[in-house]
Chain A
Amino acid sequence: MIILSEEFKRTLKRFFTNPSAIIGVTILIFFVMIAIFAPWIAPPKLPNNRNLDKAQSLLDNFTEDNKDLIIQELKEFWNDNYLFAEDDYIEMSVLMEKIKEYQKKQISIDELKAYIKELTDIYILNETYYNKFEEETNKVIRQLKQEFVKAEKKYNNSIVYSNMIKNLEEIEDSEKFIKYANNLVEEFNKNFIKSINFDPYIMPNVTTTRTPIPPSQEHPFGIVNQKDIFYGVIWGTRTAFEIGLIVVAISTAIGLFVGSVAAYFGGWLEEVLMRITDIFMSIPFMLAAMVLTTILGLGIKNMMIALIVFGWMVTARLIRGNILQAKNEQYVMAAKALGVSDFFVIVKHILPNTIFPVLINATMRIGSMVITAAALSFLGLGAPQGYADWGSILSYSRDWIIGGTNPTQYWFTILYPGIAMILFVIGWNLLGDALRDIFDPRMRH
């Protein structure tokens, strides 16, 4: 224990006396903070349910006389939204029963379909469930079960809310009343936002004109294609981390597996694996990623899959080369001569000597992966329209690069997302450099 902490202290000391480590870590901490506090730095404009507006405004200008009116409003809202929750829930539970019976082959498919038809007729279910039932029975049943869970939740909520309204009627004290009512309105709204699948990553439109608007007090980075660049840059930080970390983590894991299996087992297995690696390497990365993204369909997830599929080869080669080299080192022989088992020779003696280049490579790749993703987004292949992603904002600026009256007129469309991206990459690169200097004992002087 004492040994460990001593060593740990030394490592920390080395880390914090390394200038590139400090700069890199500072930049990255800055980005992490932005990513974490994005909802506070650039609060998404949550949509409000119009039907609650009146209750809200009454609450904001509260007088004792309004009490009944507010309760009235909330009751109406409840009636509009939750009155049928119980019925829906009962109908859905019957449907679940029928599905169970169907699965036990106690009723025919037609009977079940007839019941689904009934439910679609009273607008409890979407018609597609009925239409697609025969084609994709299992999938539809799975979705119906999810619908049931939703209905159950809504029913439970309806009971909670109706109780809350009842409680509200009994509250005498106005301050307590306001607090309680506000709470209820908030709850209603939260459920509303959930029900319309609100996504804060979609940049909202803030103007009606497409022409970029230069930075102002309200929109500090300016506006391009109706989107607030500030909002996009802040929320895009999360996207950048998501893409960088996930893609690099998975592709590095794949590379490590392929490379180490090839190096340990050797023979024809190594030959096959390394030739596959060569084949993947021979395809131009950008082109391959573009084609695969197009095949899989646009979107962040598919873009990430494409980047992973064509991003593991360097790691595989690196680890294989390192292991082959380390395998012939005398300390491996020495460890074997001491009677250390193969597994521990690999884990304790070979991996620590081979993993550093891979980790450093991975760290640096996180930054460059974000650039690649931005390039794909720039080409229109990555993030969907309006998604908060640095590359997407840059792709908006494509239309305005030439500018209006002079080429630099719309400088802000490219500058802010560009700066964010450059800082992000520099941060990871500096960290990677510093890690190599610090953790690789062979580099210690």
Chain B
Amino acid sequence: MKGGQVLINTKQPLLKVENLHVHFKTEDGIIKAVNGVNFELFSGETLAIVGESGSGKTVTALSTIRLLDENGWISEGKIRYKDIDVLALSDNQLRKIRGKEISMIFQEPMTALNPVFTIGDQIIESLELHLDMGKQEARNRAIELLTKVGIPEPERRIDQYPHELSGGMRQRAMIAMALSCNPSILIADEPTTALDVTIQAQILELMKELQKEFQMSIIFITHDLGVVAEMADRAIVMYGGEVVESADIITIFKKPRHPYTWGLMNSIPRIDRDEERLLSIPGVVPNPLNFPKGCKFSNRCFFADKKCIEENPNLEEIEANHFSRCWHIDRMLREMHKVKEGER
């Protein structure tokens, strides 16, 4: 599963996003939530989009099916799904892609299911919509799906309301809903964040199994690097609406080449290190209206200097298929080296 980048890159991407810019109009001004994001998603792979809250990761993913709030719009860029130009689709055509080709699961299984309908109703709705199934056929298929996502007694559960299910069950039902039409891409927006750790592991395991069975690609949005390591083939790290680093999963973990990525790594608690405190990235993501002029990360970065504050670096390919957006990779490497020495 891992390290298959050479093989993958020779294929035609399933989804290709180029130079994506997404803006939101708010009372305080126009927020540039996503600025020039590029990525490709290949068939069968899992791509993780990693970042803190407000980094633009969710907006990037939502843009691929143009599911933005009313005050947001894609101001620039290209999105191609297979041979379809997503941005040129009419609302009607778009609805045929949503749920059928590209489907989504959400962070809060508590609120992502409509409380007034049974989970069966909600799965059947999607089946009737996209696959033209009759009531009974759709119901049978829904039961089958619920069995697949590991819900016990699906014949009974199908007529239950979301509040009658536990959090993990709801997330499973949500996944069943998303997979109902056999989509080629599943966007998972922090699907395990709201769940207990044990349930998290089960859900991740389930998603892996289903990915194999349905042969779909997953865009996995998360801030949890542990989950990324578990799930993803490749990762893009986002900060301030920009991609700051992207590489395959081993490279990202073994050789991070951006201070932000490194900061994220250091903030994972590790059992093999005996530290008093976790290192963390100082400060919080600033208000999107007040990002620094130069490198967006400069006000929180350990290595930042005058150049960083004034000028935003480009996303450079520092080695094959490994991109980073930093002026001071050399300094950072030296620092990393020192830390490693210290550990010994």
Asked whether B67 lies within 8 Å of A333 as measured between CB atoms, the reply is yes
Contact flags A179-203 to B (C-beta < 8 A → 1, else 0): 0000000000000000000000000
Minimum CB–CB distance from A319 to chain B (whole Å) comes to: 16
CB neighbours of B174 from chain A (8 A): 334
Once the chains bind, are A441 and B115 in contact (CB under 8 Å)?
A: yes
Q: Are A337 and B161 in contact (CB under 8 A)?
A: no
Query: Which chain A residues (331-347) contact chain B, with CB distance < 8 Å?
Result: 331, 333-342
> Is there an interface contact between A330 and B112, defined as CB atoms closer than 8 Å?
yes
- Do A339 and B104 form a contact, CB below 8 Å, given A3-B120, A7-B159, A353-B116? no
Contact with A441, one of B94, B112, B161 (Cβ below 8 angstroms): B161
Min distance, Cβ A3 to any Cβ of chain B, angstroms: 6
Q: Among A6, A339, A342, A353, which residue has the most Cβ atoms of chain B within 10 A?
A: A339
For chain B, residues 111 to 137, give those with C-beta under 8 angstroms from any C-beta of chain A: 111-118, 120, 125-126, 129-130
A349 in contact with B114 given A338-B103, A339-B95 (CB within 8 Å): yes
Note all chain B residues with C-beta closer than 8 A to A339.
Answer: 94-100, 126, 129-130
The answer on a CB contact under 8 Å between A331 and B103 is: no
Residues of B within 8 A of A352 (CB): 114, 116-117
The reply to whether B125 and A353 contact each other, CB–CB distance below 8 Å, is no
Residues of B within 8 A of A335 (CB): 114, 125
In the complex, what distance in Å separates the CA atom of A349 from the CA atom of B162? 14
Answer yes or no: A348 CB below 8 A from chain B CBs.
yes
Decide yes or no whether B23 CB sits under 8 A from chain A: no
| Contact of A330 with B159 at beta-carbon distance under 8 Å, contacts A338-B98, A339-B96, A339-B99 already known | no
A354: min CB distance to chain B, Å: 10
For residue A358, give the distance in angstroms from its CB to the closest CB of chain B: 14
Interface size on B, residues (CB 8 A): 37
B187 contacts across to A, CB distance below 8 A = 337
* B115 close to A353 (CB less than 8 A): yes
Specify which of A331, A336, A341, A342 is in contact with B114 (CB 8 Å cutoff): A331
In the complex the two chains form, is A338's CB within 8 Å of B99's CB? yes
Residue of A333, A338, A342, A441 with most partner-chain B CB within 10 A: A338
The A interface, classified by DSSP as helix, strand, loop or mixed, is helix
CB-CB contacts below 8 Å: A307-344 with B: 329-331, 333-342
Chain B 146-176 per-residue mask, 1 if CB under 8 angstroms from chain A, else 0: 0000000000000101010000000000100
Give which listed residue, A6, A336, A349, A444, contacts B159 with CB less than 8 A: A6
Q: Mark B298-328, 1 if CB is under 8 A from A, else 0.
A: 0000000000000000000000000000000
Given contacts A330-B108, A441-B163, contact A337 B98 (CB under 8 A): yes
In the assembled complex, B177 has its CB within 8 A of some CB on chain A: yes
Please tell me if the beta carbons of B67 and A331 are within 8 angstroms of each other in the complex: no
B67 engages A444 (CB within 8 Å): no
How far is it, in angstroms, between the C-alpha of A352 and the C-alpha of B116 when the chains are bound?
Answer: 7
Q: Which of A334, A341, A348, A353 has the most CB of B within 10 A?
A: A334
Expressed in whole angstroms, the Cα–Cα distance for A123 and B106 within the complex equals 82
B70 contacts partner chain A, Cβ-Cβ < 8 Å = yes
How far apart are the CA atoms of A388 and B106 in the complex, in Å? Answer: 60
Q: Distance in Å from the Cβ of A256 to the closest Cβ of chain B?
A: 18
User: CB distance A331 to B113 under 8 Å?
Assistant: yes
B67 nearest CB across to chain A (Å) = 6
Q: Please provide the chain B residues from 65 to 122 with a CB less than 8 Å away from any CB of chain A in the complex.
A: 65, 67, 70, 91, 94-100, 103-104, 106-108, 111-118, 120
Instruction: Give bound CA distance, A329 to B117, whole Å.
Output: 15
Contacting residues, chain A, for B67 (C-beta < 8 A): 333, 336-337
Q: Give min CB distance, B223 to chain A, whole Å.
A: 18
| Inter-subunit contact B125/A338 (CB<8 Å) | yes
A341 x B95 contact (CB < 8 A): yes
A355 to chain B, nearest CB (A): 10
Docked CA distance A349–B125 (Å): 11
Contacting residues, chain B, for A384 (C-beta < 8 A):
none
Instruction: Select A338's contact among B91, B120, B126, beta carbons within 8 Å.
Output: B126
Alpha-carbon gap, A328 to B125, bound state (A): 20
A348 and B118 CA atoms in complex are apart in Å by 13
Query: How many residues of A are in contact with the other chain, CB < 8 A?
Result: 24
Contact of A334 among B70, B106, B161 (CB under 8 A): B106
Which residue of chain B is the closest to A445 with respect to CB atoms?
A: B163
Cβ of A266 within 8 Å of any chain B Cβ, yes or no, is yes
Enumerate chain A residues within 8 angstroms of B130, measured Cβ to Cβ.
Answer: 339
Known: A330-B106, A441-B116, A442-B115. A336 touches B98 (CB 8 A): yes
B115 surroundings in chain A (CB, below 8 A) = 331, 353, 441-442
The residue on B at minimum CB distance from A328 is B69
Chain B residue contacts of A349, Cβ below 8 A: 114
When distances are taken between beta carbons in the complex, the residues of chain B under 8 Å from A348 are: 117, 125
Cβ-closest chain A residue relative to B158: A3
How close is A363's CB to chain B, nearest CB, in angstroms? 18
- Contact (Cβ within 8 A) B106 A333: yes
Interface contact A334-B159, CB-CB below 8 Å: no
A337 contacts which chain B residues (CB < 8 A)?
65, 67, 98-99, 103-104, 187
B111 — which chain A residues lie within 8 A by C-beta?
329-331
Residue of B96, B139, B163 contacting most chain A CB atoms (<10 Å): B163
Question: Which residues of the partner chain B approach A6 to less than 8 Å between Cβ atoms?
Answer: 159
In the complex, what residues of B have CB within 8 A of residue A329's CB? 111
- A331 — which chain B residues lie within 8 A by C-beta? 111-115
Which residues of chain A from 430 to 445 have any CB-CB distance to chain B below 8 Å in the complex? 441-442, 444
Chain A contacts with B in 1-17, Cβ cutoff 8 A: 3, 6-7
- A14 CB to closest chain B CB, in angstroms? 13
How many angstroms between the C-alpha atoms of A330 and B163 in the bound complex?
A: 15
| Least distance between A8 CB and chain B CB atoms (Å) | 12
CB distance from B132 to the nearest CB of A (A): 13
In the complex, what residues of A have CB within 8 A of residue B108's CB?
A: 330
The reply to whether B161 and A444 form a contact with Cβ atoms under 8 Å apart is: yes
Partner of B129, one of A3, A338, A353: A338
Q: How far is the CB of A333 from chain B (nearest CB, A)?
A: 7
B120 x A334 contact (CB < 8 A): no
Q: Is the CB of B125 within 8 A of A334?
A: no
B161 and chain A: residue at smallest CB distance:
A441
B163:A444 contact, CB within 8 angstroms: yes
Residues of A within 8 A of B97 (CB): 339
Known pairs A7-B159, A337-B65, A352-B117. 14 more at Cβ < 8 A?
A3-B118, A3-B120, A330-B111, A331-B114, A334-B104, A334-B112, A335-B114, A337-B103, A338-B99, A338-B126, A339-B99, A339-B126, A352-B116, A353-B115
Write the residues of chain B forming the contact surface with A, with a CB cutoff of 8 angstroms.
Answer: 65, 67, 70, 91, 94-100, 103-104, 106-108, 111-118, 120, 125-126, 129-130, 139, 159, 161, 163, 174, 177-178, 187
Could you jot down 21 A-B contacts, CB within 8 Å? A3-B120, A329-B111, A330-B108, A331-B111, A333-B106, A334-B112, A334-B114, A334-B174, A335-B114, A337-B67, A337-B104, A338-B99, A338-B103, A338-B126, A338-B177, A338-B178, A339-B94, A340-B126, A340-B129, A353-B116, A442-B163
Q: Which residues of A contact B (CB under 8 A)?
A: 3, 6-7, 266, 329-331, 333-342, 348-349, 352-353, 441-442, 444
Across the A-B interface, the 5 shortest Cβ-Cβ residue pairs: A338-B99, A339-B98, A339-B99, A337-B104, A339-B95
